[in-house]
Amino acid sequence: MRVELLTIGDELLLGDTVNGNAAWMGRRLADHGIEVTRSVVVGDELDVIISAVDEALGRADAVITTGGLGPTYDDLTRDALAKAAGVALIRDPVLEKRLRARVAAANRPLAPMALRMAEVPEGAGLLGNSAGSAPGLRVELPGGVAYALPGVPFEMRTIMNEIVIPELVERAGRPQVARRTLRTAGAWESVIATRLAEVEALDGVRLAYLPSPGEVKIRITASGPDAARRLDGAEALARDLLGTMVYGTEDESLATVVHRLLIERSRTVAAAESLTGGLIGTDLTAAPGASETYVGGVIAYATEMKNRLLGVPEELLRAHGAVHPDVAAAMAAGVRDRLGASYGIGVTGVAGPEPQDGHPVGTVYISVAGPGSEPRVISPLLIVPGAGAEVREVVRRLTVVHALELLRRDILGLDAEHGAREAEEDREERG
């Protein structure tokens, strides 16, 4: 079953928005064993949309469009699909009634233009959209089926999950592909790939490495009639070879995993930040239920704040400045004790673009102080290609990942040195 995506909208060609919808759709379809063979973006032009739909169905079995279902003059998807199917656009009385009722309930006048959202290519199926104004459409065309979805992400995902994916899975028959993603932090792609050579060699199994700052996701893809069984075998072998490098699977973030480990042990955490500016707190509070594990934090951005808010000794700051392993340790213990948490995180370093106190950009010290324990400190030297504000962003993100990974290893009673060893290999790798 081959599917193409067609995203419609000038704003995408102009780079006003990044095509997050297409990425989400590609991922969800792949999860269900359906291959996206091409993804195209066109602007709001009727003839271009029509020919893009026709071309797609010349190559694939189905095309899924997003965008162009709103009420304004540049919303052309309904028109395009009607023309492609050689049918008329007709006003659907049920849709019109619902639209009028919705607008009346909001106490607003009905702009005549809005009634375009009650028009439907004759014979098209309506894909119920309780979340928004315009329904999705299913239009059968000579070359295959076209699904038209709203561009609003939440509405698109609802219709994909509830209607389109189940239909496509039904049409496709039994999936011949099974996938799983393992997530690692603090280890380098080359180290992981070297360890996984045995898995790469397995029949019917492919590995893809997806690095992001401080993390590497490993996607295992197994194919063939016994794909599920092969996948289980490959995953077991990969986990055996990688050991504690693996922190989670699929989409569970490092922060989510840390949250779960803390809840299981009835522990809490507080974070003292500086260069990270609040990123650690943001990550630890992103998910619902965070209040059970994250009690709060301090962003001691100015050097003096490290003493004022966390009790880092003035002599230490005077002697060494803010960028020093003992400062990180004092921050971790300070925030743990002052906020009454089980664990404290402390980070200090140089995000750039300028060096600080003679320390090069990428010098960071990361500390975790556990319950009744002395803080542990790591210092991964973060060498980041690029310039200016980009480097700053990556150094900050890397610091967050290393901090959360150190906390995870602390909770699990694991060696913190893994991070330091990786830093050594990192220096070697980058020559």
291-310 binders of a second copy (CB under 8 A): 291, 294-302, 305, 308-309
Site for a second copy, residues 372 to 411, rule: CB under 8 A: 385-390, 392-393
Binding mask 201-230 for a second copy (x = CB under 8 A): -------x-x------x-x-----------
Contact 231, 220 (CB under 8 A): yes
Amino acid letter, residue 186: G
Q: What is the DSSP string of 18-45?
A: --HHHHHHHHHHHHTT-EEEEEEEE-S-
Shortest CB 293 distance to a second copy, Å: 10
Contacts of 386 (CB under 8 A, 6+ apart): 394
As given in the structure block, the two tokens for residue 197 are: 């050579």
Residue 260 near a second copy by CB under 8 A: no
Give whichever of 33 and 121 is closer to a second copy, judged by the CB atom.
Answer: 33
Instruction: Enter the tokens of residue 93.
Output: 């009385």
Cβ closest to a second copy, residue 91 vs residue 430 = 430
User: Least distance in Å: CB of 20 to a second copy?
Assistant: 5
* Complex with a second copy: residue 292 or 374, whichever CB lies closer: 292
Q: Which of 40, 36, 10, 37 is nearest to 25 (CA)?
A: 36
Q: Which stretch binds a second copy (CB under 8 A): 230-238, 241-249, 338-346, 362-370?
A: 338-346
* Residue placing its CB nearer to a second copy in the complex, 79 or 426: 426
How far apart are alpha carbons 341 and 361 in whole angstroms? 31
The DSSP output letter for 71 is S
> How far is 379 from 325, CA to CA, in rounded Å?
8
Determine the Cα–Cα distance for residues 271 and 298; give it in Å rounded to an integer. 6
Position 286 contacts a second copy (CB under 8 A): yes
Mapped onto helix, strand or coil, the DSSP state of residue 11 is: helix
CB of residue 273 to a second copy, shortest distance in Å: 7
Q: How far is the CB of 59 from a second copy (least distance, A)?
A: 9
Instruction: Spell out, one character per residue from 110 to 139, where the chain touches a second copy: x when CB under 8 A holds, - when not.
Output: ---------------------xx-------
259 binds a second copy (CB under 8 A): no
Q: Is 108 in the site for a second copy (CB under 8 A)?
A: yes
Cβ at position 353, least distance to a second copy in Å = 5
Q: Is 263 in the site for a second copy (CB under 8 A)?
A: no
Nearer to a second copy, 182 or 279 (CB): 279
Q: Site for a second copy (CB under 8 A): which residue of 2, 32, 38, 267?
A: 38
3-state DSSP assignment of residue 205: strand
- Beta-sheet pairing, 246-249 with 177-185: antiparallel
Question: Of 17-25, 84-92, 136-144, 196-204, which part binds a second copy (CB under 8 A)?
Answer: 17-25
Specify the residue, 25 or 411, whose C-beta has the smaller distance to a second copy: 25
Q: Is the peptide bond before 353 cis (omega within 30 degrees of 0)?
A: yes
Task: Give the number of other CB atoms < 10 A from CB of residue 181.
Answer: 18
| Angle, vertex CA 286, rays to CA 264 and CA 29, nearest 5 | 95
How far CA 281 is from CA of 284, 317, 364, in Å, comes to: 5, 24, 18
Minimum Å distance from CB 253 to a second copy?
11
Task: Map the footprint of a second copy across residues 147-176, applying CB under 8 A.
Answer: 154
User: 108 or 318, CB closer to a second copy?
Assistant: 108
* 16, 170, 203, 264: residue in contact with a second copy (rule CB under 8 A): 16
C-beta separation of 177 from 241 below 8 A: no
Helices (H) and strands (E) in the chain, counts: 17, 17
**Helix H or strand E segment including 182:** strand 177-185
Q: Which residues are CB-neighbours of 234 under 8 A, at least 6 positions away?
A: 199, 202, 205, 220, 222
Which of 124, 341 has the CB closer to a second copy? 341
Q: Which is nearer to a second copy, 122 or 292 (CB)?
A: 292
Task: Name the segment binding a second copy (CB under 8 A); options: 90-98, 119-127, 311-319, 351-359.
Answer: 351-359
The number of residues that bind a second copy (CB under 8 A) is: 87
DSSP code of 140? E
Shortest CB 393 distance to a second copy, Å: 7
Q: Nearest distance from residue 352's CB to a second copy, in Å?
A: 7
Taking CB under 8 A as the criterion, which residues in 58-97 touch a second copy?
none
The residue count of the chain comes to 431
